Chain A
Amino acid sequence: MSEGATPADDEVLVRELRSTLGRLEAALSTIDDALVITTREGAVQWCNTSFEQLVSLPRLLVLGRPLETLLPPQDDGSPLLPPLWKGQEPLAGERFTAFLSRDPLHALEIECETVRGDPSRPLVLCLRDISSRLTQATLKEEVERSERRRLQVEMAHQQLRERQVRLAAQVVECPVTGLPNRRALHSQIARSLRRLRNSPGAVTLLFCDLNGFKEINDLYGHQVGDELLIEIARRLQGGLGADEVLARLGGDEFVVLTTAGAEPEGEAFLLAERLQRRLGEPWTVQEAVVHPTMSVGIASSDDPLLSVEELVRRADLAMYEAKTRRGRGVACYNEAIDQSVRRSILLRRRLEQAIEQDELALHYQRIVDLRDGHTACLEALVRLPGPDDTLIPPGDFIPLAERTGLIFSLGQWVLERVLGDLQRHGPRVAGCRVAINMSPLELRREGFAAGILERIRRRGVAAERLVIEVTESMLIERPERTSRELQLLRDAGVQVHLDDFGVGYSSMSWLARLPIDALKIDRSFIAEENRDPRKARVLEAMVHLAQDLGLEVVAEGIETEAQERRMRALGCGLGQGWRFGRPGPDVFESLGWADAEVSDSRAEQA
């Protein structure tokens, strides 16, 4: 009680104060700004109605709780409020903008004050919705602040990356094999080239690339792949002299650096063959036996001014050339290789573009029934248009497609186009089949037969209209799996023809077990039959054997009337060659009605 005042006076004063406070409290509940009073530690002591709405909680559930646990986060997930105290000083007098959402814009301006006269230092916060009056300048400032934050983070990342690069630059050893890595090899080559200034000689590189390493990785996993790399490193290292350096560039690429020899390329060639022999020893993995092989490119130089990169590039190009060669798989660099590789790169680009942009062309060649001359089948032959309306020979681009994996896209393109043509023209030429050549790589692919049958089903084409042509080598490499896939196709009605028969290594007894419907006898037998009596005997034997096995026989490469007569006399049922027409883009489309009638009547007789 104040001095001189009576209890009644105090009561009047309290009533007046209460009345004032009550009106203020009521007034504060009507404003849009969210107000909250907290203790020094941030526990809520009072709030107005707008604050209750902001946090979606009634006041009784807010009182006593820490403020930071009540407020929603900003749109970027960061807390709405910074820490309320900086050391001993409150965040008083600060004003900052927070974004609850950017689209639609929901921004709050937050002001914080402290009640300085109160020793308990409560905090008063005002959270004002400024979404509707946020100026362009504020937004710009906010964008700039975000940009500054982003740059800071990016700079930190950049510094981290640079540190990683600096650390990586110190590593000179392959972590898998323990051999010198690319960096160490470059230093060694550079040193060897520098030495040529004072002591003439040559620096020679053998660029070794394992064949089929990816398949091993895919089949057995990377751990087995790494084990193989270690074994390869051991085998190669064991075949080298003390002055020769073996390095692993990465993946399945190894390089041998040698400076020995008066005939550097010749000696390197012999070294490559020796290393290939060492490498080819069987290696057992998970009960399977692998015979590793590699292609080797050799590049040699006596020029001390040649750059390291150029010498490695030449060896790499030679290796690329070696990969395309059958047999030994060793090639020495020369300028022709440079041009050949460049041509290959251009050809690959052209093929990719033609597949992507549907620029390939499909030609058909007739296969006729030698008994009545009607068209029994068409062989689909893909053509790659080159510059100036020329056609790039299949012999150039098919091997490249197989080396680069483009064969799968190419095969799918051909199959889709053939099925489309069968849909369009098939009903008019009932009985006429269409033959497609399959690459060994396609045949080895998981689900090969199922994929073809699914496409046939989707197109609504009769499976009996399709013929798959395969070569002997495909059947020899993986006979069981290949036979199983082909049998699936045959069960559905697709015919299988064995292409280029006679030039491979098939044994006659083995022929009886193959899941095939016809033999296509290689053109070389037809071409030389009247000049080479031994070939003529073999041809006769092949035809009779096929007949005995119940197989249809197709004679390829018939060019003359005499050849046609001879093949007919031998008992070949079908023939193909220029005598009956060259492959062309319109052959299927223009297949005559008369031909179709012949074919229909034949089908009926059958």
Chain B
Amino acid sequence: MSEIPAIPSIDSLEQGDRPFVLADAMGRVLRINPAFERAFGWTIASLGGQPLSLILPEAFQMAHQLGFSRFQSTGHSKILAHPLRLATICSDGSTIVSEHYIVAEQWEGEWVFGATLTPLDEESPMT
């Protein structure tokens, strides 16, 4: 019988070599790592404190805001802790299909969200 793999912590995601972004309960970007900067062109100076929706395509923004709100209101989400193929917006406005893996944790009573965004071959279908 196989065991259900444990959900990795935000720390472990941040310490890995994949592009990483950390956001607070308000959905503002707190940190990004150098791999993220290299992959998507953003710097912490340009993205820090900005809404996370900046890196999401326009078609996903309403659903993102409502889903984000719903999670904070009910603690229920369908997208946490499993890989999602989504488009990510780069600093130059271009789009890169990437695998998003999002984890939520409470730090001192506040939700924080850490995610790795691994660029994929563009031929891969989005799911």
Contacts and interface: CB of A to CB of B under 8 A. Distances in A.
Contact of A21 (B26, B57, B65, B126): B65
Given A14-B26, A61-B126, A22 B59 contact: no
A46 B62 CA distance: 6
Given A61-B127, A63-B63, A18 B69 contact: yes
Given A14-B26, A25-B70, A26-B70, A64 B57 contact: yes
Contacts of A63: 59-60, 63
A45 B79 CA distance: 17
Nearest to A28: B66
Nearest to B60: A63
A22 B63 contact: no
B9 interface: no
A31 to B, nearest CB: 15
Interface residues of A, number: 22
Contacts of A61: 126-127
Interface string B49-61: 0000000010111
Contact of B63 (A18, A19, A43, A45): A45
Interface in A5-64: 11, 14-15, 17-23, 25-26, 37, 43-46, 59-61, 63-64
A23 B67 CA distance: 10
Interface in B35-50: none
Contacts of A43: 59
B66 A25 contact: yes
B106 interface: no
Interface residues on B, range: 20 to 34
B101 to A, nearest CB: 14
Contact of A18 (B57, B62, B72): B72
A25 B59 contact: no
- If over half of A's interface residues share one DSSP class (helix, strand or loop), that class is named, otherwise mixed; here it is helix
A120 to B, nearest CB: 10
Contacts of B79: 60
A22 B61 CA distance: 15
Nearest to A62: B63
Contacts of B74: 22-23, 26
B103 to A, nearest CB: 18
Interface string A80-109: 000000000000000000000000000000
A59 B63 contact: yes
Nearest to A23: B73
Contacts of A46: 62-63, 66
B120 interface: no
A33 to B, nearest CB: 17
A43 B62 CA distance: 12
A44 B59 contact: yes
A462 B68 CA distance: 90
B86 interface: yes
A340 B67 CA distance: 93
Given A18-B73, A22-B70, A22-B71, A60 B59 contact: no
Contacts of B66: 21-22, 25, 46
A60 B73 contact: no
Given A21-B69, A25-B70, A26-B76, A64 B59 contact: yes
Contacts of A21: 65-66, 69-70, 73
Nearest to A19: B73
A66 B53 CA distance: 22
B81 interface: no
B42 to A, nearest CB: 22
Contacts of A23: 70, 73-74
A63 B68 CA distance: 16
A22 B62 contact: no
Interface of B: 25-26, 57, 59-63, 65-74, 76, 78-79, 84, 86, 126-127
8 contacts: A18-B72, A18-B73, A23-B73, A25-B73, A45-B59, A45-B61, A61-B127, A63-B60
